[in-house]
Structure 1
Amino acid sequence: MSALDRLAATIAARKGADPESSWTAKLLAKGPEKCAEKFGEEAVEAIIEAVKGDRERLTSEAADVLYHLLVMLASRDVALAEVLAELERREGTSGIAEKAARS
């Protein structure tokens, strides 16, 4: 089990927890819109660190992005396994071809 799998399992387990006892439960209790907003904030922070070129800060912010992405997915009952299956489906397909197929 990868670190992402363990994190996703922890987030799923906290879904029904008391919001006063868990940051994850608190985020989930605020609803999908707030989870999406928080993901966006973290993504912007990662972008800023990428532009600055600070590897250590970018690594930290990237971890925050992954955590908040998983929380946002959980808020809409989308499992990490579903996202990974989609990535596997796309594997070996040119990004240009994949994007053209969406149109």
Structure 2
Amino acid sequence: MILDELYDVLMDRKINPKEDSYTSKLIYHRKGINKILEKLGEECTELILAVKDGKREDIIYETADLIYHLLVLLVKLDIKLDEIWSELERRRR
């Protein structure tokens, strides 16, 4: 699944930071987790605006950005996707 693959790449950037990696820069930013939270808020707002404008391509693009930044947050916090899937499964019942 693409989310699992992306999560693994992001985790690798956390474990093996690369100087030219946007992901590594976010994870190790001097502002700490606040930088990731700022980006999450920004991407959420951009998605809301895209939906209001009704532009399908923009909605898809901004959704991908939001998911990426959410995954960066999860990696930063050492929360595994399986934990999220388990919670969703629990709620389904």
Superposition TM-score, scaled by structure 2 size: 0.91
Q: Report what 2:17 is aligned to.
A: 18
Number of residues of Structure 1 aligned to a counterpart in Structure 2: 91
Within 1, Cα distance between the matches of 2:39 and 2:73?
8
Cα distance change on mapping 1:8 and 1:73 into 2, 3 Å = same
- Identity %, equivalent residues: 43
Q: Considering only aligned residues, what root-mean-square deviation do their CA atoms show, in Å?
A: 1.1
Q: Report what 2:51 is aligned to.
A: 50
List gaps (5 residues or longer) in structure 1. Answer: 93-103
Q: Report what 1:100 is aligned to.
A: none
- The offset of 1:19, in angstroms, is 4.7
Does the 8 Å CA contact 1:19/1:29 hold for their aligned counterparts? Answer: no
Tell me the secondary structure at the aligned position of residue 56 of structure 1: helix
Within 2, Cα distance between the matches of 1:59 and 1:76?
26
Q: Structure with the greater relative contact order (CA < 8 A, sep ≥ 6): 1 or 2? A: 2
Within 1, Cα distance between the matches of 2:17 and 2:6?
18
Within 2, Cα distance between the matches of 1:53 and 1:78?
33
Q: Report what 1:40 is aligned to.
A: 41
- The offset of 1:84, in angstroms, is 1.2
**Which portions of structure 1, spanning 4 or more consecutive aligned residues, are displaced by more than 6 angstroms?**
none
Superposition TM-score, scaled by structure 1 size: 0.82
AA in 1 matched with 2:11:
A
Q: Which range is displaced more, 80-89 or 49-58?
A: 80-89
List gaps (5 residues or longer) in structure 2. Answer: none
Matches within 5 A, 1:1-103: 2-30=1-29, 31-92=32-93
- The offset of 1:76, in angstroms, is 1.2
- The offset of 1:70, in angstroms, is 0.3
